[in-house]
Amino acid sequence: MMQWSYDTLLKWGTNELTAHDVENAALDAWYLLEHIYGISRVDFLMRRSDSFDAAQMEKSTAYQALIRQRSEGFPVQYLTGSTEFMGLPFLVNEHVLIPRQDTEVLVETALSMMKPGCRLLDMCTGSGCIVLSLAKLGTVTWGIGADISEEALKVAERNRENLGLSQVKLVHSDLFGSVEGVFDMIVSNPPYIPTDDIEDLMREVKDHEPHLALDGSRDGLLFYRKLAEESGRYLVPGGSLLFEIGYDQGKAVSQLLDQAGFKDIHVKKDLAGLDRVVYAVKAAE
């Protein structure tokens, strides 16, 4: 039997993932190593060539199993159970969408518009990444994260506890169904992929992430339509509404907000130069 060290195991993992065309092979192999052995980068650098003892040897089997799953297209974040968003740690599982870097554009835009004492609602909160990062980094006095999925809310609740955010409440609700209160800001990254386009998504996404979090109905705009119609009733005059959108939905979502009486409607691009966020303000009565 081969005598492993951190170094040889990591190299094996990287090669395995590379052979299966995994994009960030070296990084993913490292995340899985860190997850299984609970070692820091510094520990790794100091002990990288030491031969494994019996306990470490045993864990290498679990590592190899995760590398195999990753090779088959399982997202690394579901395998480690965690990810980073806005520099903060978030737990994830198959019941929530994996927080995306694209969504940080929404959070940054919201932070730049947020006033002190903000009462915030995050519709379709999933892992809670939006409402919780805004509460951690912004001036939120209280916030609600609403979702229709009880399983997603369990994940969000654990994230809320880990980040120590008692000003945030997680609510089980079908859109505004069980939401009460008035808000200074409403944010949402709702499901927005047209149903027929889901099969064209990357396999990693369509085979593993919850379709409930992706499917925006026939034209992808179902949730924007409902949220544009109903948000006005829950926002103070001058309050803001911000959506993450698909790259080709800027015009359509702006129009929906215009029809619903919102003003100062803007579209913002992501780092790739694609439309990613639409935001608007509720007109004073």
Q: Which of 18, 93 has the CB closer to ligand GLN?
A: 93
The Cα–Cα gap between 99 and 79 comes to 15
**Among the residue ranges 25-33, 135-143, 183-191, 259-267, the one whose residues contact ligand GLN (CB under 6 A):** 183-191
**Among the residue ranges 61-69, 96-104, 173-181, 265-273, the one whose residues contact ligand GLN (CB under 6 A):** 96-104
Please check if 192 is assigned to a binding site.
yes
Among 13, 75, 143, 190, binds ligand GLN (CB under 6 A): 190
Asked whether 247 and 275 are in contact (CB, 8 A), the reply is: yes
- C-beta atoms surrounding 98 within 10 Å: 22
213 binds ligand GLN (CB under 6 A): yes
Q: How far is the CB of 127 from ligand GLN (least distance, A)?
A: 6
Q: How far is the CB of 244 from ligand GLN (least distance, A)?
A: 7
216 binds ligand GLN (CB under 6 A): no
Q: At what angle do helices 6-19 and 54-71 cross, to 10 degrees?
A: 10
- 71-84 burial, b for 16+ CB within 10 Å, e for fewer? bebbbbbbbbebbe
Counting residues that bind ligand GLN (by CB under 6 A) gives: 13
Q: How far is the CB of 21 from ligand GLN (least distance, A)?
A: 26
Please check if 147 is assigned to a binding site.
yes
Strands 235-244, 183-188: parallel, antiparallel or unpaired by DSSP?
Answer: parallel
Asked whether 247 and 222 are in contact (CB, 8 A), the reply is: no
Please check if 24 is assigned to a binding site.
no
75 binds ligand GLN (CB under 6 A): no
Q: How far is the CB of 209 from ligand GLN (least distance, A)?
A: 9
The Cα–Cα gap between 82 and 25 comes to 18
Asked whether 90 and 99 are in contact (CB, 8 A), the reply is: yes
User: 217, 113, 230: which is closest to 179 by C-alpha?
Assistant: 230
* Positions of E strands within 30-160: 82-85, 88-91, 118-123, 140-147
Among 80, 109, 189, 240, binds ligand GLN (CB under 6 A): 189
Q: How far is the CB of 142 from ligand GLN (least distance, A)?
A: 18
The Cα–Cα gap between 147 and 245 comes to 18
**The pair of three-digit structure tokens given for residue 246, joined into one six-digit string:** 């698909």
170 binds ligand GLN (CB under 6 A): no
Q: How far is the CB of 233 from ligand GLN (least distance, A)?
A: 21
124 binds ligand GLN (CB under 6 A): yes
DSSP string, 192-224: -B-GGGGGGS-HHHHHHS-GGGTB--TTS-HHH
Q: Which of 99, 138 has the CB closer to ligand GLN?
A: 99
Q: Which of 246, 250 has the CB closer to ligand GLN?
A: 246
Q: Which residues bind ligand GLN (CB under 6 A)?
A: 97, 99, 103, 124-127, 129-130, 189-191, 213
Binding-site residue ranges for substrate: 189-192
Binding-site residue ranges for S-adenosyl-L-methionine: 147, 189
